[in-house]
Amino acid sequence: MNKHLTTVAGVAVDTRHWIGGERVASTDTFPDASPIDGSVLADIARGTATEADAAVAAAKAAFPGWAATSRVERARILHAIADGVEKRIEELAIVETTDNGALLRSHRRGVMPRVAHNFRFFADWLLKLEHGDFETRGHSNHVSWDPAGPCVLITPWNAPLMLATWKVAPALAAGNTVVLKPAEWSPLTASLLADIAAEAGLPAGVLNVVQGYGSEIGDALTSHPDVRRISFTGSVPTARRIAASAAANLTPLSLELGGKSPLLVFADADLDLAVDLAVEQYDNAGQVCLAATRFLVEESVAEEFTRRFVDRTMGLRQGDPRDEATDIGPNIHPGQLEKIDGFVRRALAAGARAVIGGHPEDGQYYAPTLLTDVAQDSEIVQEEVFGPVLTLQTFTDEEEAIRLANDTRFGLAATLATGDPERAERVTARLVAGTVWVNCFFVRDLQAPFGGSRLSGVGREGGTWSFDFYCDVKNTVTAPNGWTNHG
């Protein structure tokens, strides 16, 4: 029996790194536990600078061949990876749910199909990627996207495989090689992705997966002189550390960070729709960077909105995420649960009122919470909690709504509920956010730019924006009639 294999819900997962097309063990391991019941799922290979160097070396060695591979062939292999994902959706879904606690029904119906779509979209976009040639004083200009080199991709635990492939797919499509480091709290599906990619025919060394702690293997990756791009999704403090690490080599960064996004509800909104949007913010137990965690509700409808919201929330079912009837699962880790509860306890001590929730449940579950009577400059309004904790404030007019909405250090997203299209146009134009949803939430298209303002991030990804980041964009200028006839 292979001691490096663990079985999760009947699915075999290799716990070693994937470097240069081979499984590589480490001297030490770290435990990976399920948030559902706290049980240890596996002891995962704990990488250090040694594995980081090996993975970057493998990516560097594989880069010339992959960069020289035609667009058509790269796209074919990416589609083959998508095929492999689709064949294993059920396996990927149950492993991911067991590993990070998100709803199994969501993984089956939405998240894992989206993983396959990530590969298909960027494969197809690659084949149509172009910038029309143009002339300057009779000279022709031709824009091209050249592969940059080895890329380090560091991904979070709240949507592990979907967010990993959102980076992996465009990086590979662009002709780069990749070192993927998944979050240590949810590493298992990244290992399965390595198997799927190899089965699809991706050459050895083009995709490498290494596991471990940020302070050990992460720092070694982000400071490596042979790395040409770093993409990170996670917290602001970790991003600062990565940026400092990358600074010596001036390695370009793409950072998708935290949010403290508002949901603005005007009196002219469809209140049933507004409540639907509000309840959606408990998705994934509140562990969503885009979540509109600050409700800003026009004073004249605040009482009715709150009543309807509470009625709806009380009907949500919290429990085992593998159960189809469950609406809210556990939070990822005991440390995260304690962090969430600390935010709430401090808010309550400062005078906030818990309309619902305000306390942990058994295990790693936190009661869906809504806090009112919160000050605009309070910690609970200004800092990202990343749990099922929402606040509600009121406003009297449009100007105050915009002021409150923009009054944080973040600017990732905003959601607006109104029945007035002219108001929607005025307000959205003034909101500081990378994405604004009007009378909807979480409608996403990979053609659109995605990223944040202020402390919510640096750069944009999606469509051509992804290729702009993962490539060295070149302009070639050719003189007219400048060719020498050697014939």
SS3 per-residue string spanning 362-404:
CCCCECCEEEECCCCCCHHHHCCCCCCEEEEEEECCHHHHHHH
Q: Is the pLDDT of residue 74 over 60?
A: yes
Decide if 246 is inside a domain: yes
Decide if 118 is inside a domain: yes
Q: b/e map of 112-137 (b: 16 or more CB within 10 Å)?
A: bbbbbbbbbbbbebbeebeeeeeeee
Instruction: Output the pLDDT for position 2.
Output: 79
Given the structure tokens 């020498």, which residue do they identify?
484
Q: Is the pLDDT of residue 180 over 60?
A: yes
pLDDT, tens digit, 9 for 90 and up, residues 96-111:
999 999 999 999 999 9
CB 410 within 8 A of CB 260: yes
Catalytic, 289? Answer yes
Banded model confidence at residue 240, pLDDT cuts 50, 70, 90:
very high
DSSP three-state, residue 163: helix
Q: What is the CATH number of the domain that holds 173?
A: 3.40.605.10
Report the alpha-carbon distance of residue 100 to residue 336 in Å, rounded.
12
pLDDT, tens digit, 9 for 90 and up, residues 384-435:
999 999 999 999 999 999 999 999 999 999 999 999 999 999 999 999 999 9
| 286/252 same-domain check | no
pLDDT, tens digit, 9 for 90 and up, residues 276-290:
999 999 999 999 999
Instruction: Output the pLDDT for position 195.
Output: 98
CA atoms within 13 A on the CB side of 258: 19
Q: Is the pLDDT of residue 486 over 80?
A: no
| 292/247 same-domain check | no
The DSSP line for 223-252 is T-TT--EEEEES-HHHHHHHHHHHHTTT--
Q: Give the mean pLDDT of 215-228.
A: 96
Kindly tell me the burial class for residue 225, based on how many C-beta atoms sit within 10 Å of its own C-beta (0-12, 13-18, 19 or more).
Answer: exposed
pLDDT, tens digit, 9 for 90 and up, residues 426-444:
999 999 999 999 999 999 9
Mean predicted lDDT score pLDDT of the chain = 96
Q: Which domain holds residue 344?
A: 262-438
Banded model confidence at residue 485, pLDDT cuts 50, 70, 90:
low
| 221/273 same-domain check | no
pTM given for the model: 0.96
Count other Cβ atoms within 10 Å, centred on residue 14: 20
| 358/466 same-domain check | no
How far is CA 19 from each of CA 52, 178, 208, 212, 309, rounded to the nearest angstrom? 9, 10, 5, 14, 49
| 136/277 same-domain check | no
Report the alpha-carbon distance of residue 242 to residue 230 in Å, rounded.
9
| 272/249 same-domain check | no
Instruction: Output the pLDDT for position 83.
Output: 98
Catalytic, 256? Answer yes
| 242/300 same-domain check | no
| 17/161 same-domain check | yes
Q: Is the pLDDT of residue 160 over 80?
A: yes
Decide if 450 is inside a domain: no
| 83/221 same-domain check | yes
Report the alpha-carbon distance of residue 446 to residue 412 in Å, rounded.
16
Count other Cβ atoms within 10 Å, centred on residue 19: 24
Decide if 51 is inside a domain: yes
The active-site residue out of 91, 289, 461, 471 is: 289
Decide if 54 is inside a domain: yes
Phi, psi of 144 (to 5 degrees): -135, 160
Cα-atom radius of gyration of the chain, to the nearest Å? 24
How far is CA 139 from each of CA 244, 294, 472, 478, rounded to the nearest angstrom? 41, 53, 22, 6
Sign (positive or negative) of CA dihedral 448, 153, 163, 174: positive
Decide if 443 is inside a domain: no
- Number of domains, the chain: 2
The active-site residue out of 91, 184, 256, 461 is: 256
Share of the chain above pLDDT 90, in %: 98
Report the alpha-carbon distance of residue 452 to residue 384 in Å, rounded.
14
Q: Give the mean pLDDT of 303-309.
A: 98
* Identity at 279, one-letter amino acid code: V
Phi, psi of 133 (to 5 degrees): -65, 150
Q: What is the CATH number of the domain that holds 411?
A: 3.40.309.10
| 210/272 same-domain check | no
Q: Is the pLDDT of residue 482 over 90?
A: no
Q: Is the pLDDT of residue 319 over 90?
A: yes
Consecutive H or E run containing 447: none
Record the tokens describing residue 140, joined without a space: 């022709």
Decide if 240 is inside a domain: yes
Decide if 449 is inside a domain: no
| 324/239 same-domain check | no
Report the alpha-carbon distance of residue 469 to residue 145 in Å, rounded.
10
pLDDT, tens digit, 9 for 90 and up, residues 24-53:
999 999 999 999 999 999 999 999 999 999
Banded model confidence at residue 3, pLDDT cuts 50, 70, 90:
confident
| 12/156 same-domain check | yes
